[in-house]
Chains A and B, each alone.
Chain A
């Protein structure tokens, strides 16, 4: 512990961001990113979602406890808690649904390598695998079985790859969170500019991705 740590402990700004607010910021950011990015983003680690889900469960239990007593004073607090709970659950739901939409769209792509599989949570991986197996069986029984055996695969990569992948070069809007050197590929020129925090840029997702992963930028 050096002098900076001591100063930090007495500095009120370091305690001004409680865990709940950080979680909400992180959840909101993850939701906006998942809604804007052209590909599936990694599932948050460190048990983040388990914590969020536990908190929601606990809050629902509190609501159930509080509905029992009809004191008008706690009644209003109950309305506030329920409103916030619904807003929070909307965020979680919309986040999960946005991920599902991407997994549905490019299921074979996300199942193709271990690195891509690792982006999904266990439940999502189970869903994608099973859904794909059902689909393939259905195709086999309805028409694929009448094809020659060498044409029955759905993931042929000889010649033109059958597995469709998201377009990683699609343009996205990002906001810089700190001053950063941004390098980006363009049609005529490649740019390398130092960009100030709070700037909003149009970039290709392939150029924006390292910035977002390093926490220097967020999707908007």
Chain B
């Protein structure tokens, strides 16, 4: 009955999470709003676009009730830009995660403010009132931020980039090819050119996976001499974390256990230094 899995999300669980990402669909049939546990779906009225969770979009796609509009970051030019940034501009770190969505700030005309996350302009009030209107202290994060919709900015990889890209290519390849290749003239795109563009996107994604996997591998070299308490992996993706979780966390824990006696000695030395009101340097020497 109890869950037999080790701590940390598995690949399957990450894929499950990624299916909650919102994507944009162009419906081909009318469909009334459905009252789901996760909220009402928007009513589908062709040809108006609507944002739906990926699992629902794929279901509609399989039944030919809708076409999926791929996010801008999946465009070959955007992927090539990201690869360029990952290899040339900043070969050490991952490329930045997408910025939080912005909109005009009504209290400061002419200025935009971020809707969620950083700065927390919205969440400045910590009242926990359950009036069901706004989110009090709750900050939305992936997969509930619209980072895979058609409006998502190009040039940034969202947290679930690999899973969403794979799903879209596997189940909505024709839509991806039509949207990326024809630039609107979807119907006229021949099957040969759509195959080449899909191949291009797949190739770029594979390059990206390899570039970033190499970075994760080289960051493990830094793990060996990991002395501080914080290590940042800004911009890393969910699947990449799931893949290296066991290894990376195992190494960090191992380093901590090996250095436990050094750490206790240092802490004691620091405490003594504090008790005596300074001259911590000589204490530290005594500690080692």
* One of B83-91, B170-178, B183-191, B227-235 at the interface: B227-235
* C-alpha gap A178/B115 in the complex (Å): 12
CB-CB under 8 A from A3, the residues of chain B are 107
CB-CB under 8 A from A28, the residues of chain B are 17, 20, 143-144
Report the minimum CB–CB distance from B170 to chain A (whole Å).
18
Cross-chain contact B32 with A77 (CB below 8 angstroms) = yes
CB < 8 Å neighbour of A199 from B59, B232, B248, B259: B232
Query: Which residue of A has the minimal Cβ distance to B263?
Result: A187
Cross-chain contact B231 with A177 (CB below 8 angstroms) = no
By a beta-carbon cutoff of 8 Å, the part of chain B in contact with chain A is: 1-5, 7-9, 13, 16-17, 19-20, 31-32, 34-41, 55-56, 59, 63, 65, 97, 100, 103, 106-107, 115, 117-120, 122-123, 128, 130, 132-135, 137-141, 143-144, 226-236, 238, 241, 245, 248-249, 252-253, 255-256, 259-260, 262-263, 266
By a beta-carbon cutoff of 8 Å, the part of chain A in contact with chain B is: 3-4, 7-8, 10-11, 13-15, 17-26, 28-29, 32, 35-38, 46, 55-56, 59, 62, 76-77, 79-81, 83-85, 87-88, 90, 94, 97-98, 100-101, 103-104, 167, 169-173, 175, 177-179, 182-191, 193, 195-204, 207, 215, 218, 220
CB-CB under 8 A from A100, the residues of chain B are 1-3
Report the minimum CB–CB distance from A153 to chain B (whole Å).
25
Report the minimum CB–CB distance from A159 to chain B (whole Å).
20
Q: DSSP class of B's interface residues: helix, strand, loop or mixed? A: loop
* C-alpha gap A76/B66 in the complex (Å): 14
Cross-chain contact A207 with B232 (CB below 8 angstroms) = no
Report the minimum CB–CB distance from A168 to chain B (whole Å).
12
CB-CB under 8 A from A187, the residues of chain B are 226-227, 255-256, 259-260, 262-263
CB < 8 Å neighbour of B135 from A7, A17, A77, A178: A17
Cross-chain contact A25 with B140 (CB below 8 angstroms) = yes
Given contacts A59-B37, A186-B228, A200-B234, 20 further A-B contacts (CB under 8 A): A8-B134, A10-B106, A11-B106, A22-B135, A25-B140, A28-B17, A32-B17, A62-B35, A77-B34, A83-B55, A100-B2, A101-B4, A177-B139, A184-B228, A191-B228, A196-B118, A198-B100, A201-B232, A203-B230, A207-B229
Cross-chain contact A188 with B7 (CB below 8 angstroms) = no
CB-CB under 8 A from B259, the residues of chain A are 187-188
Report the minimum CB–CB distance from B250 to chain A (whole Å).
9
Query: Which residue of B has the minimal Cβ distance to A220?
Result: B241
Cross-chain contact A84 with B36 (CB below 8 angstroms) = yes
Q: When A35-B9, A90-B16, A184-B230 are in contact, do A21 and B39 touch as well, CB less than 8 Å?
A: yes
CB-CB under 8 A from A88, the residues of chain B are 37-38
Most buried by B among A81, A85, A187: A187
CB-CB under 8 A from A56, the residues of chain B are 37
